[in-house]
């Protein structure tokens, strides 16, 4: 009960009066329903509010009981006690909560502070709630208030971490959610079963079994001494506790995805020379200029490109690369089905060369969609591995690894592999 009522039951009763036929002599006043005092509540940020009401019909002949919950714009700024009777001592204005016409009012994922929109507790729940109870056959009503205080407990979000097996000193850094604070204590937990069960982290929690020790586990940054392949799939979360002993776990968990020595290898190898001795496939498929005929070109036993076969196929015409085969064994071939976007390898019967070695030449026009490119069939988003690029820029701009947007193939100046303004975050984060 936030505000004291005017009778022994704690509610404030209001009723319209009606007169009998003999109006100058008597009045009839119907009794209002009786509300058992509502209890004040202190809840954790992000928690749930439930305010049950027990209403008794004082007049059994006045019809069914009706309920309407409303919300104040006055803040509750201190913790409140269910056994107390909190009051600010100032007049309050209440706005009905749409649809709140049941005997219990409930709200999930509460936010601290007062509502920024009148009558909408989802925009702020730390305020006063009022129940107005009446009966269908008369205009008599009773009201009672409950104060709710939302503790400003600190919340955190966590990123996903991908690390190479054997990495020394891996850190997981939690980001504090804006507008939250007040945590009296923070600590980390670890799950080995995908989040079904959690264990509080201590320095040697995983030392014996996984050879991993932890430090700074009472701060928003967790430090792992190493990341062996055995901890692949472990989840970590940060827990904050406020001064009332209420806890709140981080809003998202982090998976330490460890790339093992098996997967920590080149995810694609493309070269005009054979660089993987275990590869026995072709080098590329080329298309003759001005036509649709294609020819698959292999490597010589020396590992060099079979340029004689290229010349025999092309003659004095140009040739363009349709498919550049992946030597890694992963099958990630680079291809371009659109003839106008295929890069060149032969110019009017002369093989494009640099320092005497054949190479694939890419052309493009700045600020246009006319960029030669060889593309993966699908984006490589599930594996990580090293990237090694040998590239020469012919002018002030050049071509790089990228994704589907035109500017993701283009960098300026020619001393960089990508442009920080135009290249997608996935490419920037992988290369930088």
Q: Could you read off the pLDDT of 159-206 as tens digits, one per residue?
A: 777 776 667 788 888 888 776 777 778 899 998 888 889 999 999 999
What is the rounded average pLDDT of the residues 397-408? 48
Q: Which percentage of the chain shows pLDDT scores above 70?
A: 72
The answer to which of 84-93, 282-291, 314-323, 398-407 has the lowest mean pLDDT is 398-407
* Structural domain count of the chain: 3
The residue among 363, 394, 414 that closes a domain is 363
Q: For residue range 181-192, list pLDDT tens digits in order.
A: 777 788 999 988
What integer pLDDT is reported at residue 369 of this predicted model? 60
CB neighbourhood size of 76 (10 A): 26
Residue 237, both tokens = 């979360």
Residue 427 placed within a domain: no
The residue among 259, 276, 296 that closes a domain is 259
What integer pLDDT is reported at residue 5 of this predicted model? 35
How far apart (Å, rounded) are the C-alpha atoms in residues 64 and 138? 10
In this structure, the answer to whether residues 69 and 122 fall within a common structural domain is yes
- CA-based nearest residue to 326, from 244, 388, 243, 270: 270
What's the full length of the chain, in residues?
Answer: 432
Residue 419 placed within a domain: no
Question: In this structure, are residues 51 and 121 in contact, taking their beta carbons and an 8 Å threshold?
Answer: no
In this structure, the answer to whether residues 181 and 248 fall within a common structural domain is yes
Residue 394 placed within a domain: no
How far apart (Å, rounded) are the C-alpha atoms in residues 38 and 83? 10
Domain containing residue 106: CATH number: 2.60.40.10
What integer pLDDT is reported at residue 388 of this predicted model? 52
Instruction: Output 205 or 18, whichever has higher pLDDT.
Output: 205
| 261 CB-near residues (< 8 Å, 6+ apart) | 165, 166, 229
Q: What are the start-end ranges of the E strands in 234-305?
A: 234-241, 247-249, 254-259, 284-288, 294-297
How far apart (Å, rounded) are the C-alpha atoms in residues 322 and 299? 17
Alpha helices in 270-414 (DSSP H): 307-314
What integer pLDDT is reported at residue 179 of this predicted model? 63
Instruction: Output 165 or 146, whichever has higher pLDDT.
Output: 146
The answer to which of 125-129, 147-151, 330-334 has the lowest mean pLDDT is 330-334
- CA Rg, the chain, in Å? 36
Residue 379 placed within a domain: no
CB neighbourhood size of 364 (10 A): 19
- CA-based nearest residue to 379, from 358, 355, 357, 408: 408
Residue 428 placed within a domain: no
Give me the numbers of helices (H) and strands (E) for the chain, helices first please: 3, 33
Q: Strand pairing of 141-151 and 94-96?
A: unpaired
The residue among 103, 122, 151 that closes a domain is 151
Q: Which domain holds residue 111?
A: 12-151
């Amino acid at each position: 009960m936030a505000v004291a009522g005017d009778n022994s039951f704690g509610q404030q009763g209001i009723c319209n009066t009606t007169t009998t036929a003999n109006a100058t002599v008597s009045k009839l006043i119907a009794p209002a329903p009786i509300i058992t005092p509502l209890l004040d509540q202190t809840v954790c940020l992000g928690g749930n509010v439930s305010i049950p009401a027990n209403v008794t019909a004082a007049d059994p002949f006045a019809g069914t009981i009706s309920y309407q919950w409303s919300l104040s714009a006055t803040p509750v700024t201190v913790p409140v006690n269910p056994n107390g009777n909190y009051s600010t001592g100032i007049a309050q204005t209440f706005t009905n909560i749409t649809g709140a016409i049941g005997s219990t009012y409930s709200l999930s994922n509460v936010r601290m502070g007062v509502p920024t929109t009148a009558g909408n507790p989802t925009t702020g729940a730390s305020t006063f709630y009022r129940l107005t109870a009446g009966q269908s056959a008369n205009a008599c009503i009773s009201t009672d208030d409950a104060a709710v205080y939302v503790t400003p407990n600190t919340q955190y979000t966590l990123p996903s971490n991908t690390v190479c097996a054997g990495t020394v000193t891996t850190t997981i850094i939690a980001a504090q959610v804006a507008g939250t604070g007040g945590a009296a204590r923070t600590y980390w937990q670890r799950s080995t079963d995908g989040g079904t069960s959690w264990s509080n982290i201590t320095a040697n929690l995983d030392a014996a079994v996984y050879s991993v020790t932890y430090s700074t586990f009472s701060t928003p940054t967790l430090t792992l001494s190493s990341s062996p392949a055995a901890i692949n799939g472990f989840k970590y979360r940060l827990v904050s506790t406020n001064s009332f002993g209420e806890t709140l776990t981080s809003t998202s968990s982090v998976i330490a995805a460890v790339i093992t020595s098996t997967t920590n290898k080149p995810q694609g190898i493309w070269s005009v020379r054979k660089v993987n001795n275990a590869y026995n496939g072709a080098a590329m498929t080329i298309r003759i200029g001005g036509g649709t005929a294609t020819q698959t070109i292999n490597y010589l036993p020396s590992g060099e490109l079979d340029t004689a076969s290229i010349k025999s196929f092309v003659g004095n015409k140009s040739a363009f690369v349709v498919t550049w085969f992946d030597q890694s064994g992963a099958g990630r071939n680079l291809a371009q089905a659109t003839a106008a976007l295929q890069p060149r390898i032969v110019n009017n019967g002369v093989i494009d060369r640099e320092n005497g070695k054949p190479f694939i030449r890419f052309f493009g026009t700045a600020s246009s969609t006319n960029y030669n490119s060889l593309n993966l069939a699908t984006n490589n988003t599930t594996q990580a591995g090293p990237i090694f690029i040998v590239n020469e820029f012919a002018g002030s701009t050049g071509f790089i690894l990228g994704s589907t947007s035109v500017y993701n193939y283009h960098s300026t100046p020619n001393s960089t592999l990508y442009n920080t303004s135009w290249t997608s975050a996935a490419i920037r984060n992988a290369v930088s």
